[in-house]
Chain A
Amino acid sequence: LPPTCDWRKAAGIISSVKNQENCNCCWAMAAAGNIEALWGIKHHQSVEVSVQELLDCGRCGNGCRGGFVWDAFITVLNNSGLASEKDYPFQGTVRTHRCLARRHKKVAWIQDFIMLPDNEQKIAWYLATQGPITVTINMKLLKQYQKGVIKATPTTCDPRLVDHSVLLVGFGTSKSVERKPAEAVSSQAHPQHSTPYWILKNSWGASWGEKGYFRLHRGSNTCGITKYPLTARVDQPVKKQRVSCP
């Protein structure tokens, strides 16, 4: 596992930060970001896929009232791909029963999708070797977040109550000054320690957080990041040796 990984540094892989506005479509934006990134990595071709198509053509109806990343992937499979964002642009509202998928050329498609193990080391390995993935977290602390690495406890951010899907684009480690309780603060130099973190792309516009991104502590299942790590696959899985059942 490399010490750091940041897919934003690779040209044409991570698209601009989106703003879901008054539409609860984080699930569709996270899935679209995942497909765009994997398509760019696999085919060396930068694409921006249509979030609106995921909303209009989803089997569950009004995608602006919430949804699941796996439903976005199922929509992509059912429609044999996705149109471009340019051809089928984001409106911020759903036109249920107005799916326009057939009118537009597909610019990206997937073979299938998988859920990764709930193990941060394995998630980091997959991220570093395959590409960005979607995760679903408890968004409670993001309302007041400005910058830095969030390290929460199950009390401050319940890892079981996940309600917001985002794109995991990297990881790293920062040197940070250890924060002491207010009463223990002294004039002495504070000890430094390293803070491993995840880098996540949100869909609340570039004026929120760290230019639209935020960081969560890595290694403590902060805000339930390991609960639903999902990713599409844009290529056929490598064939494994066959075994025969006796």
Chain B
Amino acid sequence: GSLRGQDPGPQPLELKEVFRLFQIQYNRSYSNPAEHARRLDIFAHNLAQAQWLQKEDLGTAEFGVTLFSDLTDEEFGQLYRHQSAAGGLPNVSKQVGSEEWGEP
């Protein structure tokens, strides 16, 4: 009440507005309202995760909305992980080569 009549200044965008801007920027549309709601949930989760990463990062990186912000970690992994088979890369150990690795 004490702020009534004063210019509140720039306010943080509401989640739905941020999501709408994300959809425009990356040309995203969803097949039905249920899917839209699901993607909004995922988007919110990813934003929260980005905030956590921002807090944890020890460098100068900035984390936030990207073209992957409406994907679950699993979907992102399926899209871009270089090895879809479980287990990933073989556990190659340095024991066999030590400092000689890199020599012909």
* A interface list, Cβ under 8 A from B: 20, 22, 24, 26-27, 65-68, 112, 114-118, 122, 126, 136, 139, 141, 143-153, 156, 161-165, 174, 176, 179, 181-182, 195, 197, 204, 207-208, 215, 217, 227-228, 237
B101 lies within 8 A of A27 (CB) = no
Give A66 to B88 CA distance when docked, in angstroms: 10
Contacts of A26 in B (CB 8 A): 80, 82
Contact status of A164 and B99, CB under 8 A, knowing A150-B59, A151-B57, A151-B59 = no
A144 lies within 8 A of B80 (CB) = no
Q: Does B13 contact A (CB under 8 A)?
A: no
Q: What is the minimal beta-carbon distance from A193 to any residue of chain B, in angstroms?
A: 10
Contacts of A67 in B (CB 8 A): 82-83
Contact status of A145 and B66, CB under 8 A, knowing A24-B82, A66-B83, A156-B56 = yes
Checking B55, B58, B64, B79 against A22 with a beta-carbon cut-off of 8 angstroms, the contacting residue is B79
Checking B59, B67, B77, B84 against A207 with a beta-carbon cut-off of 8 angstroms, the contacting residue is B67
Q: Does B62 contact A (CB under 8 A)?
A: yes
Within 8 A of A (CB), among B17-68: 46, 49-50, 53, 55-68
B59 lies within 8 A of A146 (CB) = no
Give the nearest-CB partner of B47 in chain A: A144
Checking A156, A208, A227 against B53 with a beta-carbon cut-off of 8 angstroms, the contacting residue is A156
Contact status of A165 and B104, CB under 8 A, knowing A149-B59, A151-B59 = no
Give A217 to B59 CA distance when docked, in angstroms: 7
Give A67 to B73 CA distance when docked, in angstroms: 20
Contact status of A164 and B64, CB under 8 A, knowing A116-B101, A117-B101, A144-B49 = no
Contact status of A68 and B82, CB under 8 A, knowing A145-B63, A148-B60, A148-B61 = yes
Q: A144-B46, A182-B55 are in contact. List 18 more A-B contacts (CB 8 A).
A: A24-B83, A66-B82, A68-B82, A114-B103, A116-B101, A144-B50, A144-B69, A146-B65, A148-B62, A149-B61, A151-B60, A163-B83, A179-B57, A179-B58, A179-B60, A217-B59, A228-B92, A237-B104
A151 lies within 8 A of B53 (CB) = no
The main secondary structure of chain B at its interface with chain A is: loop
Give A174 to B53 CA distance when docked, in angstroms: 20
Q: Does B16 contact A (CB under 8 A)?
A: no
* B interface list, Cβ under 8 A from A: 46, 49-50, 53, 55-69, 71, 73, 76-77, 79-85, 88-89, 92, 94, 97, 99, 101-104
B88 lies within 8 A of A163 (CB) = yes
Q: What is the minimal beta-carbon distance from A208 to any residue of chain B, in angstroms?
A: 6
A195 lies within 8 A of B60 (CB) = yes
Contacts of A122 in B (CB 8 A): 102
Give A26 to B88 CA distance when docked, in angstroms: 14
A139 lies within 8 A of B81 (CB) = yes
A150 lies within 8 A of B64 (CB) = no
Contacts of B50 in A (CB 8 A): 144
Contact status of A152 and B57, CB under 8 A, knowing A112-B104, A116-B102, A237-B104 = yes
Give the nearest-CB partner of A23 in chain B: B79
Q: Kindly name the residue among B46, B59, B92, B102 whose own CB sees the greatest number of chain A CB atoms within 10 A.
A: B59
Q: Kindly name the residue among A150, A181, A237 whose own CB sees the greatest number of chain B CB atoms within 10 A.
A: A150
Give the nearest-CB partner of A116 in chain B: B102
Q: Kindly name the residue among A144, A148, A164 whose own CB sees the greatest number of chain B CB atoms within 10 A.
A: A144
